[in-house]
Amino acid sequence: MATFKEFRNNIKPNWCPGCGDFSVQAAIQRAAANVGLEPENLAVVSGIGCSGRISGYINAYGLHGIHGRALPIAQGLKMANRELTVIAAGGDGDGFAIGMGHTVHAIRRNMNVTYIIMDNQIYGLTKGQTSPRSAEGFKTKSTPEGSIETTLSPLEIALAAGATFVAQSFSSNLKQLTSLIEEGMKHEGFSVINVFSPCVTFNKINTYDWFKENIVDLEETPDYDNSNRIGAMTKLMETNGMLTGLIYQDKTKKSYENLVVGFKEEALAKQDLTLSQEYFDKLVAEFR
- pLDDT at res. 270: 85
- Per-residue pLDDT averaged across 10-17, rounded? 94
Q: How confident is the model at residue 89 (pLDDT cuts 50, 70, 90)?
A: very high
Q: Per-residue pLDDT for 282 more than 90?
A: yes
- Rounded-to-integer distance, Cα 55 and Cα 25, Å: 9
Question: Are 63 and 43 within 8 A, CB to CB?
Answer: yes
pLDDT tops 90 at residue 271: no
Using H for helix, E for strand and C for coil, what is the string for the chain? Answer: CCCHHHHECCCCCCCCCCCCHHHHHHHHHHHHHHCCCCHHHEEEEECCCHHHHHHHCECCEEEECCCCCHHHHHHHHHHHCCCCEEEEEEEHHHHHHHCHHHHHHHHHHCCCCEEEEEECCEECCCCCEECCCCCCCCCCCCCCCCCCCCCCCHHHHHHHCCCCEEEEEECCCHHHHHHHHHHHHHCCCCEEEEEECCCCCCCCCCCHHHHHHHCEEHHHCCCCCCCCHHHHHHHHHHCCCCEEEEEEECCCCCCCCCCCCCCCCCCHHHCCCCCCHHHHHHHHHCCC
Largest CA distance in the chain: 70
pLDDT digits 0-9 by tens, 145-177: 999 999 999 999 999 999 999 999 999 999 999
Residues 6 or more apart in contact with residue 274 via CB below 8 angstroms = none
- What's phi and psi for 229, nearest 5 deg? -65, -40
With beta carbons less than 8 A apart as the criterion, state whether 69 and 48 touch. Answer: no
pLDDT band of residue 265 (cuts 50, 70, 90) is confident
Number of domains in the chain: 1
Domain that holds residue 277: 4-285
pLDDT higher than threshold 90 for residue 199:
yes
267 has pLDDT over 90: no
Q: Read off the pLDDT of each residue in 35-58 and give the average, rounded to a whole number.
A: 96
Whichever domain contains 153, its CATH number is 3.40.50.970
- Predicted confidence band of residue 245 (pLDDT cuts 50, 70, 90): very high
pLDDT confidence tier of residue 246, bands split at 50, 70 and 90: very high
First to last CA, the chain: 54
Q: Do 33 and 75 contact (CB within 8 A), yes or no?
A: no
- Of the two residues 265 and 58, the one the predictor is more confident about is 58
| pLDDT-based confidence at residue 222 (cuts at 50, 70, 90) | confident
**pLDDT tens-digit series, residues 101-130:** 999 999 999 999 999 999 999 999 999 999
Contact present, 96 and 152 (Cβ < 8 Å): yes
pTM score over 0.85: yes
Query: Does the structure show a pLDDT above 90 at 209?
Result: yes
What is the structure's pLDDT at 288? 82
CA distance linking residue 230 with residue 222, whole number of Å: 17
Q: How far apart are CA 29 and CA 89, in angstroms?
A: 13
Q: What integer best gives the mean pLDDT of the chain?
A: 95
Q: What is the mean pLDDT of residues 253-271?
A: 90
